[in-house]
Structure 1
Amino acid sequence: MSLIKKIQLFLSYWYQRYLLATELYMVEPWEKVVIHIVFAVLLTLFWWFNKTLVVGGISSLRNTASVQAIS
């Protein structure tokens, strides 16, 4: 079995598990598209929140703590 076929089977397996876990296997195709878009937007917003606010806040706290330790 070729590597591409194995990868395709692997992705197909996990996509089917995703559809079963989210119960998207029983909705219309247009509803799947809408829900996938909502999931993508939410994932992007979570990524942006962590990238800008959490990481930025931690780095500013570290810089403040190191300045206070020096003085």
Structure 2
Amino acid sequence: HDVTYFTIKVDDFKHMMQQNFRLAQSVMLYLGERLRKAERQWESLILKDVRTRIVEFLKESAGERGRQV
């Protein structure tokens, strides 16, 4: 698979977000979900045993990356 990526200067990105509500909203939703996921992982490490963590990881991975057969 080919990959194409772009770089954007921080000031340009800030300006784009100020001018485009949908972009700002999408970025905030994405960052919020990343934060929730990090919190769940931290909580899992602290409060759950190894077996439970593995089962939850497999279920989450299947939900995110899996495909129905």
TM range (shorter): 0.3 to 0.5
- TM-score in terms of structure 2 length: 0.41
Give the greater-gyration-radius structure (CA).
Answer: 1
Q: Name the structure where helix makes up a greater proportion of residues.
A: 1
